[in-house]
Amino acid sequence: MNYQMIIERTRAYLCLDCGKCTGSCPLARVDLDYSPRRIVERVVAGEAEAVMASPQLWSCMTCGMCSARCPSNVDFARFIIEMRAEAFGLGERGIYAHNGILQEIMRIQTLEVHQDRRGWLTDDMRVSEESDTLYFVGCLPFFDVVFADLDVEATEIARSAVRLLNRAGIVPHVSNDERCCGADLLLAGDVDSFRRLAELNVEAITRSGAKQVVFTCAECYNAFRTDYPEYVGALPFEVTHLTELLAGHMNSGDLAFEPVPGTVTYHDPCRMARYLKVHEPPRQLINAVPQAHFVEMEDNRERSMCCGSTAWVNCSGCSKLIQREKLAQARDTGSRLMLTTCPKCQIHLRCASRDLAPEEKVRVEDVTSWLGRAIQG
């Protein structure tokens, strides 16, 4: 097995046993048995098999907080992802949330499908197959179905994205041929399915002639920017997050917003916070909305705490404790509205807020949907 390769690639051999990883790990705070340091130590000490057989392998949220703090620059998230890939090959699986329905949806997309996924488009939106810009919608139409009980309003993100692009003078292509980005399968160890989805996506986008791909989902964006080049080669198109694109348009003065009164705060998704380090564009946009009062949470930007669940595996009571903490941080700002740029953070935090007492509830909404209201007046 390639444990030595994993140790080398992730620089795990440089671990100093300092424990900063465990000290900063949000999961370790609520699950006292969980320790990134011990996991690394065991593998380095030659006990990789035991780690692979342990349910703990699937609990890590890959939020990257540990790596951000690690003095030796050990890439623990990647270490976990690669260990999972090995374990997956041996038949091990994480505990699938929602009975594995999302994994099924993702894996079906590795096969011959001709999706019909644009039902959310409405007449007021302008889209074009000839466009240079492709808006990558991701799993949003599926989320609306799977999470109907949470009223996640996922496709509202997509509708707002197209309206915002239109307002910025861009008529995007929205394709039936896009597949799930596959990031959640990669994170859950299923590298083959991920690679297949990546190939299909790159092929479809290349075929569409798009020169630029815009994302609203932080995870899709990170998959394309970070993982795709590594697994399927350099991309023949540019990738950008909608907030980056819009912030650019705002600077050049061709985008303005109507007032949306109220106090808001912003949750940096792990992919934006630590993987891609895209911190300012969402904030610039929020601050550009008249009468919106923006307050930072205690932990923000690279210190932003995870939404508690990743890759649709091993969601648990511990996830909920992390989410409760995140929502408490939001309440501390005096706001009852937390914006974010990852639809999955939105789902996870809405799920947690659902169970809170009315006075503790925090509404979680995508920056895109919120901005969508700021252009509708």
* Interface contacts to another protein, rule CB under 8 A: 28-30, 32, 88, 95-101, 104-105, 107-117, 119, 141-142, 145-146, 148-149, 176, 190, 192-193, 196, 298-299, 314-321, 324-325, 328-329, 351, 354-355
Please give the Cα distance from 240 to 119 (Å, whole number).
Answer: 24
Number of alpha helices (DSSP H) and beta strands (DSSP E) in the chain: 20, 7
The count of residues in the chain is 377
Minimal distance in Å, beta carbon 34 to another protein?
Answer: 11
Minimal distance in Å, beta carbon 377 to another protein?
Answer: 32
Nearer to another protein, 53 or 108 (CB): 108
**Strand locations in 165-323, DSSP E?**
212-215, 238-241, 262-267, 292-294
Nearer to another protein, 28 or 342 (CB): 28
Minimal distance in Å, beta carbon 360 to another protein?
Answer: 13
> Residues of 183-217 as b/e, b for ≥16 C-beta within 10 angstroms?
bbbbbbbbbebbbbbbbbbbebbeebebebbbbbb
Minimal distance in Å, beta carbon 325 to another protein?
Answer: 5
SS3 content of the chain, % helix, strand, coil (to 5): 55, 10, 40
Minimal distance in Å, beta carbon 237 to another protein?
Answer: 24
Minimal distance in Å, beta carbon 176 to another protein?
Answer: 8
Answer for the pair 174, 162: CB distance below 8 angstroms, yes or no: yes
Minimal distance in Å, beta carbon 111 to another protein?
Answer: 5
**3-state secondary structure at position 212:** strand
Nearer to another protein, 208 or 243 (CB): 208
Nearer to another protein, 24 or 133 (CB): 24
Nearer to another protein, 116 or 123 (CB): 116
Instruction: Work out the angle at residue 94's Cα, subtended by the Cα atoms of residues 233 and 103, and round it to the nearest 5 degrees.
Output: 60
**3-state secondary structure at position 91:** coil
Minimal distance in Å, beta carbon 317 to another protein?
Answer: 6
CA dihedral 346→61→31→266, nearest 10 degrees, is -40
Please give the Cα distance from 184 to 197 (Å, whole number).
Answer: 11
Nearer to another protein, 133 or 155 (CB): 155
Nearer to another protein, 6 or 97 (CB): 97
Answer for the pair 172, 129: CB distance below 8 angstroms, yes or no: no
Nearer to another protein, 167 or 195 (CB): 195
Q: How far is CA 42 from CA 11, 157, 217, 297, in A?
A: 15, 43, 35, 36
